[in-house]
């Protein structure tokens, strides 16, 4: 019965009564407790916004610092590489002078030149081709599907460069480089995320694959019936721009000549 009495007496929801009072010109006085609550909420929101701004500023500062450190370290590495190349040239010149003194030394020099060419540790100049393979332009995307049905996959992948390089080797290339990175027997062409790594160096498209050899034979390798037929089909199927240019003279830099790691058996 008490519940029925309350319902009959207070049939109107208190919120409706409050709004009716406000529209009628009557306003409830703001209490000190209400002001305190509003103030605390404002301070909390302000503190949270300040913390977010401070965190964002910190992240920006850290990122800028890391980028600057990367640039500095990259410049140091490039300087050391130039110095190493200069010292290597001096050593090679001294070696040539010593070997040229007699017939035996000259024979050893000729044999050494053959080994260095095969190992890719000396610069090479001669006729050849430059093959440019690039990512698919967005405006020529063929349906938006890449290999394997993946959406938006119109990028050159590591296996594409592997196919291209192997085709040039099969056609008789004497030396090959990708974007200036000389390939040797120990060079790996791999991917890390969306980047293609050649000799553990990230490269960016377009990819210029330069090969020294007979230009006609190298160019014929990238035809429908050549050893590079599969990469030609890939390029046509996925819209990857592929261009072959014959050159009377191309120059390839020397590759890395770091010694192979050896393992010494225990007890030796």
Whether 24 is covered by a domain: the verdict is: no
pLDDT in tens, 238-266: 889 999 999 999 999 887 655 544 444 44
- pLDDT at position 8, please? 52
The share of the chain scoring above pLDDT 90, in percent, equals 26
The total number of structural domains that make up the chain: 2
- At residue 7, does pLDDT exceed 90? no
**Better-scored residue on pLDDT, 66 or 3:** 66
Q: Judge whether 219 lies within some domain.
A: yes
The verdict on pTM exceeding 0.85 is: no
In a domain, 8, yes or no: no
CA 222 to chain centre: 26
- The residue among 124, 227, 219, 208 whose CA lies nearest residue 161 is 208
Q: Are residues 224 and 147 in the same domain?
A: yes
Same domain flag for 88 and 140: no
CB atoms within 10 A of CB 28: 9
Residue 95 lies in a domain: yes
Among 16-20, 49-53, 59-63, 168-172, which range has the highest average pLDDT?
Answer: 168-172
Does residue 247 share a domain with residue 163? yes
> For residue 57, what are its two tokens?
């500023």
Query: What is the overall mean pLDDT for the chain?
Result: 78
Shared domain check, 129 and 95: no
The residue range of the domain holding 219 is 125-252
168 and 71 inside one domain = no
**Assigned domain for 268 exists:** no
91 lies in some domain: yes
Q: How far apart are the first and last CA of the chain?
A: 102
Does 163 lie in the same domain as 236?
yes
Q: What's residue 118's pLDDT?
A: 73
Is 147 a residue whose pLDDT tops 60? Answer: no
- Examine the pLDDT at 143 and tell me if it is beyond 90: no
């Amino acid at each position: 019965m008490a519940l029925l009495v309350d319902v009959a007496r207070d049939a109107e929801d208190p919120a409706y009564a409050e709004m009716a009072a406000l529209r009628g010109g009557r306003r409830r006085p703001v209490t000190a407790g209400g002001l305190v609550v509003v103030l605390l909420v404002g301070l909390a929101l302000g503190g949270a916004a300040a913390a977010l701004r401070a965190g964002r500023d910190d992240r920006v500062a850290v990122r800028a610092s890391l980028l600057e450190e990367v640039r500095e370290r990259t410049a140091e590495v490039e300087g050391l590489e130039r110095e190493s190349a200069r010292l290597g040239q001096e050593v090679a010149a001294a070696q040539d002078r010593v070997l040229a003194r007699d017939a035996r030394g000259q024979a050893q020099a000729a044999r050494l030149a053959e080994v260095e060419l095969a190992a890719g540790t000396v610069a090479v100049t001669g006729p050849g081709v430059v093959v440019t393979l690039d990512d698919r332009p967005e405006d020529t995307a063929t349906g938006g599907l890449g290999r394997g049905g993946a959406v938006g996959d119109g990028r050159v992948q590591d296996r594409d460069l592997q196919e291209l390089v192997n085709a040039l080797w099969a056609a008789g290339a004497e030396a090959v480089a990708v974007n200036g990175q000389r390939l040797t027997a120990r060079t790996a062409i791999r991917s890390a995320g969306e980047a293609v790594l050649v000799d553990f160096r990230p490269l960016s498209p377009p990819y210029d694959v330069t090969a020294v050899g007979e230009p006609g034979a190298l160019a014929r390798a990238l035809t429908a019936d050549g050893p590079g037929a599969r990469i030609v089909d890939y390029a046509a199927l996925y819209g990857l721009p592929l261009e072959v240019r014959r050159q009377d003279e191309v120059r390839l830099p020397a590759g890395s000549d770091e010694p192979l790691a050896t393992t010494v058996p225990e007890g030796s």
